[in-house]
Structure 1
Amino acid sequence: MFIQTESTPNPATLKFLPGQAVMDAGTADFPSAETAGKSPLATRIFAVDGVRAVFFGTDFVTVTKAEDSEWDHIKPAILGAIMEHYQSGQPTVTGAEEDAGHADHDGPDAEIVNQIKQLLDTRVRPAVAQDGGDITFHGFDRGIVYLHMQGACAGCPSSTLTLKMGIENLLRHYIPEVTEVRPVAD
């Protein structure tokens, strides 16, 4: 098995491409070792000293390192953990992963919320997946869209610029009711 690695705009995060499916559908975010219990793969990766967060996309794993860790020291152990997982035959995640950001919305803003989600799914999420992350919808209230950044996007130095100049401008262009985009913390 050959696992490719790619850098991301976030210097604390690397993207690992195992060459096979990681998630059948959706994404899974593990912002700490305590949240990894339902994922044999995330548990293995968190066993590497210096790993701060793990995120799964359909065909990639992003790993965020602790500030005091060096990629040269922990990358080989992470590659080994990923390889060991795929050789074990265990599932990536046990049980269903929640994807709360994709439930249909009803109420007075239902049409606007559905337009926002459609734009995020078709225009934004594929682009941030290229960088090893994801953005999920968390709410719309009085013109403000609330989004949660995951994977390489969480804590990325350019994430504010991505939100304000990229996503906010896109949503405001297509949906006049949107006035601002704000990040939601964990």
Structure 2
Amino acid sequence: MPLQRFWLQIAAFLVLVWAGVGVVMWVTEDSVFSPEKTLALMAEAPWLEDENLSESKRKAYLDKVIASVLKLDFSQRNQMREDGLETMERFTKSLTDEEKGEYVGRTVEENFKAVMKGLEKLPAEDRRRIIGGIQREMKKKAAKNPEMQMLLDQDPASFEKNFTKDMGLFFKEAPLSMKLEMAPMLEGMQGRMQGMRIR
């Protein structure tokens, strides 16, 4: 009998623990961000169904999407891009020019600034390796965007020397569509730099 009571107490304790876990998960559901949730937010943008949605409601929803994107780390953003490129493209195409500027300014440009600051802090050898990777990535994209060619026509040493100044100017003046295309490259660089800092 005492053994049976012991097991009943353990079972009751486990039920309470799992009930507590369930309550915490339910309460924090809106605070947990994932690529799937972010893609769902993009796919469910209310203006996709209602073109006459008020500007204030559009702004509030865009803020919600941007907040969700910003909560994702670089690997989650990469996963989001791999799993939902079509959804992301549909979402960004549905934005007005002003909204695209807001989206790019708060997601891509902030990432760019973080990458540039991170590059400045890296040891010379690591910086050279990262910038070499950047140059290779840009060469792949140059066929689609001839504007990138001006940076790529330099030898690797000159490219590295001028990268920070030229890239900052280039990115500042680049059209929004190009900034969006550069997002995966920037996120990849940030991931590589974070990996170097961990070692």
TM-score by length of 1: 0.27
Q: Which has the higher helix share?
A: 2
Answer 1 or 2: which has greater strand percent.
1
TM-score by length of 2: 0.26
Greater C-alpha radius of gyration? 2
